[in-house]
Structure 1
Amino acid sequence: MSQQQILVSPPAPAAGADTSPPRTRLRGNLGVASIVFIVVAAASPLGVIGGPVPLGIAFGNGAGFPFSFVIATVVLLLFSVGFTQMTRYVPTAGAFYSYVSKGLGRGFGLGAAFVALLAYLALEAGVFGLFGPGLAELVQSYGGPDLPWWVWAAVGFVAVTALGYRNIALSGKLLAVLLIAEVAIVLVLDAVVIFSGGGPEGFATGLVTPSEIVSGAPGMGILFAILSFVGFEATAVFRDEAKDPDRTIPRATYISLISIGVFYTVSSWVLISANGESGIVANATDNPGTILQTTTQAYLGAAGGHIVQLLFVTSLFACILSFHNIASRYLFQLGARGVLSARLGKAHPVLGAPSAASVAASAAVAVLIVAAAALRLDPIGQFYTWLGGISSVGIVLLLTLTSIAVLVFFARRERGGSLWSRRVAPALGLAGLLAFFAIILLNLPALVGESSYGPFSCGVLVLLAAALVAGPAVARRRRTVVLD
């Protein structure tokens, strides 16, 4: 267009047409507690104690594994210092990609958005590979029919889709109930073991013994610890639905992270103590999927074992629902900013929810589940593991990009906050994240079931690289897109 401004009168609306502007902001009144419930539910505390913890003990650093959670918590807290300091300068609800855009430009911001969307959708779909068999086993234990895993996954899928369509408040309340129940049973087990003086060998000391911490494969221990924290980073996704977001988001981030870190560290130490430090590696290696249930049964009786089995399934459901809510909001924000279809960026006129985006997220997940069933993939060893590999690399890449963006942003703008919050803590956090990223890349083949870099582990990296590179390409084509 030339320097002259051309004015075009819009056509008159048809009689009875809705002339109100499309809603591009979500409605909600989430407080710190509600966001913490959603985010911690995404981390799936009971699922972690029953899944990654035994794997970290078996294939990582054995009795020293709980210290891996301490390391991960410290690094992520350092990251959060800069992230929360920058929150006041990022008034949009685009989560980390808005931060990346603010610090590194629209191209990297869009690339980060595509990486995040891919990672969250992959993990949402992948966890159905755990949920389906878990629910099938639960139903069969009570005399129910023996049906394929994908039938039970479909049951959970329908429930998640229905809840995701509605306002976040309903999901928040349900997640609060499920989260309290799953955390409560683990805390009861922790208390019984602690007050009974530990297990057959007393209290485990590997947590504070340097030789145990560095024994075995500590890199694998760190890897499983990092995977256990996936979900904590999503607090900023709910900015539009939070009350007083400049305070709510930082508080929810710190509370979520510290709560998860303490819970994982203590509960993994108790699990080791309850089974005896000398035999825990062999036990976890032979029974990684049942060690939590058998331990609970030994200390809380048969009823405790049944409760853990039930809550393990509900924990996975809560995890899926949380990731669905996160993925839906990524789609909504990208639609509202004109990156994806504008229909995705319109909130439901009554519910104030990202209903269209939620349906789109469900459609993507449905395609992956149907493909897994049609190809007869093993739900855990292939479907969950492969998609988990995509998610683990994607989330740590997203955290690393955000950390770099925070440092660049404050290097350009000397405003607000101390030197510690603007420079020192973010730099230390970035160093830790780069180390985590290197560990994940070194161990990615093992994570996805390959002895060395093969078709799938290489494919994971190519797919994420393509998503990241797509950002600058789309940004050049759509110069009016604003992410921050």
Structure 2
Amino acid sequence: MSAVNPPAADLSAVGSARQERLHGTLGVAGIVFMVVAASSPLTVVGGGVPVALAIGNGPGVPAAYLLVAVILLLFSVGYSLMSRHVTNTGAFYSYITRGISKPAGLGAAFVALVSYTTIQLAVYGLFGATLSGLLASWGVPNIPWWLCAVAALAVVAVLGYRNIDLSVKVLGVLMLCEVAIITIVCVAVLARGGADGVSLTSFTPSAFFSGSPGIGVMFAIASFMGFEATAIYSEEARDAKRTVPIATYVAVILIGVFYAFASWAMVIAYGSGKVVAAAQENTAGLTFATAQTYVGTWAEVTMNILMVTSLFAVLLAFHNAIARYLFSLGREHVVSERFGRSHTKYGSPHFGSLTQTVSALIIIAIFALAGLDPVAAVFAWMSGLATLGLIALMALTSAGVIVFFRRSRLDTRPWNTVIAPALGLAGLLFLLVLVVWNFTTLIGGSMGLAITFEAIIVVAFVLGYVLAARWKTSRPDTYAQLGSFTG
């Protein structure tokens, strides 16, 4: 187990890690935009919610979103407090390193890179299929999904290379459009009384425990992907010690309440007793059919278009997250130092951004040459793997927060440093068990494939852990710098 702060003998090594940092002027709204964009409101409401209704706990799905939001709010208490003492674009990696140990932190960093890379690849598959299908419906000759994905990759590459403020402006506009069309449809459903009138049945225990509540909760937690971004952008915030905690709470509450509201409106639209059958009959088109029925054709068309821009927003958000993880690791000499140098003009992690662009292009090409289905294989498999990895990371972070404050005594308030993080840890472990138990369903594959993907997460963590443990004697300077940077 490592000390909370680097030992005095290693401060010279740590000093080199302080030479580079990212720059930006993000406020609370900007960071919240990045987080909500990463969670992709329209992708969740148009894709995730119908699946949860069909194979999860049906009318109880809205309550599942609220349950997950409560667990993440408990997690956020310690997470936000930690952000006041550790400002590092490595986020989970840095917190786990400073809290548990350097080997555990590097293991977590490897898991984070795997998770963020796979979720971005998942979305490239879904984006390509969605855009190709939309263009085909407009009479455009069939365009391969991978070509659409590469087109998006090119735009993401340009935006990701530049200053984060430009990405925030793009994501902010796209996210507001998504929220607007979803809100219009939901209000229309409630105003017209849905199929059987407006009721709060969805929030009763009987509704929550109907069907398969574990699967409902599993899809709910997957909707919070990108939650870590509040701390990832801490170095690019105007006042990180104030901005990050506020943005964290605001993002969790907004996401949880909005998705609970949207899924509740979907239940009202078809009736609590009929929504499961409706979702099973038309899973892919349920949300769009609801828009057409309760608002009109223009809403359905608009929603289809915004589905494409929603997925693009996710691609950009996760591209930025991966680039910043690589920057953090480069700055601490885990990978080439070139990754740890910010752009002289844009203050961005440009080398990590370029590397991520090239690696994504190569993997998209592999998927395309293998002839994998962009939705049933690429999206389902990769998003399932990412969900598993990120829940595990949050659980480790909760444990790291508890240990950090027990050792450092920088804050001794029981609720903030022990009780809330412990409750959050218990909730996250519960979610992790649900995901592992239902993992075959989540990825839509075989048990063998599920075990393979679960093994990838374990291997990534063990590889990072063992590597750091070896560096303690073979590369002491590098070992000393792990998780040491505090902006």
TM over 0.5: yes
Tell me how far 1:449 sits from its aligned partner. Answer: 2.2
CA distance in 2, matches of 1:154, 1:118: 20
Matches within 5 A, 1:11-90: 24-90=20-86
**2:205 equivalent in structure 1:** 210
Structure 1 alignment gaps of length 5 or more: 6-20
What residue identity is the alignment partner of 2:457? Answer: L
**Aligned positions of 1:86-105 closer than 5 A:** 86-105=82-101
Task: Name 2:441's counterpart in structure 1.
Answer: 446
CA contact (8 A) 1:204 1:276 kept: no
SS of the aligned residue for 2:325 comes to helix
Aligned twin of 1:467: 460
State the 1:161 CA deviation: 1.0
d(CA) in 2 for partners of 1:150, 1:290:
22
Equivalent residue number for residue 413 of structure 2: 418
Residue 366 (structure 1) aligns with? 361
Provide the C-alpha distance between the structure 1 equivalents of 2:275 and 2:423, rounded to a whole number of angstroms: 34
Q: Tell me the percent identity.
A: 44
Q: d(CA) in 2 for partners of 1:305 and 1:233?
A: 32
Q: Partner letter of residue 246 of structure 2? A: R
The equivalent of 1:155 in structure 2 is: 151
Question: Does the 8 Å contact 1:112/1:468 carry over to 2?
Answer: yes
Provide the residue aligned with 2:179 in structure 1: 183
Q: Distance in 1 between matches of 2:343 and 2:408?
A: 38
What CA distance in whole angstroms lies between the structure 1 residues aligned with 2:18 and 2:415? Answer: 42
Q: What TM-score does the superposition give when structure 2 sets the normalisation length? A: 0.92
SS class of match (2:365): helix
How far the C-alpha of 1:22 sits from its partner, in A, is 11
Q: Does the CA contact (< 8 Å) of 2:87 and 2:231 recur in 1?
A: no
Whether the 8 Å contact between 1:23 and 1:347 is mirrored in structure 2 is no
For 1:448, give the aligned amino acid.
I
Instruction: Report the CA distance between 1:136 and its aligned residue.
Output: 0.9
Q: Could you tell which deviates more after superposition, 321-330 or 204-213?
A: 204-213
| C-alpha contact 1:43 1:228 (8 A) present in aligned 2 | yes
* CA apart distance, 1:250: 0.5
- Offset of residue 193 of structure 1: 1.8
Equivalent residue runs for 1:66-465 within 5 Å? 66-196=62-192, 198-416=193-411, 418-451=413-446, 453-454=447-448, 456-465=449-458
Query: Is the 8 Å Cα contact of residues 204 and 277 (structure 1) preserved in structure 2?
Result: no
Deviation at 1:31, TM superposition (A): 0.6
Where 1:232 maps in the other structure, the secondary structure is: coil
CA contact 1:37–1:176 (8 Å) conserved in 2? yes
- SS across alignment from 2:477: coil
SS of match in other structure, 1:415: coil
Amino acid at match of 1:433: L
Distance 1:206 1:339 in 2: 52
Q: Deviations over 1:410-432 (max 9, x none)?
A: 22233325211111101100000
Q: Secondary structure of 1:277's match?
A: coil
Residues 206, 213 of structure 1: 8 Å contact kept: no
User: Residue type of the partner of 1:56?
Assistant: A
Paired residue type of 1:471: G
Please tell me the root mean square deviation across aligned C-alpha atoms, in Å: 1.5
SS at match of 1:219: helix
Say whether the 8 Å CA contact 2:405–2:412 is kept in structure 1.
no
Give distance in 2, aligned partners of 1:352 and 1:151. Answer: 31
**Alignment gaps of 5+ in structure 2:** 1-8, 10-16
Instruction: Classify the secondary structure of the residue corresponding to 1:215.
Output: coil
Distance, in Å, in 2 between the alignment partners of 1:480 and 1:94 is 19
Write out per-residue CA displacement over residues 69-128 of structure 1, whole angstroms, 9 at most, x where no aligned residue: 011000000000011112222132221110000111111111111100110011011101
- Give CA deviations for 1:214-242 in whole Å, capped at 9, x if unaligned: 01110001100010111122211111111
* 1:17 corresponding residue in structure 2: none
Residue 243 of structure 1 aligns to a residue whose secondary structure is coil
Which residue identity lines up with residue 286 of structure 2 in the other structure?
A: I
Which position in structure 1 is the counterpart of 2:4? none
Letter in 2 for 1:149: W
| Matching residue of 1:480 | 477
More deviation, 414-423/338-347: 414-423
Tell me if the contact between 2:202 and 2:272 (Cα under 8 Å) persists in the aligned partners. no
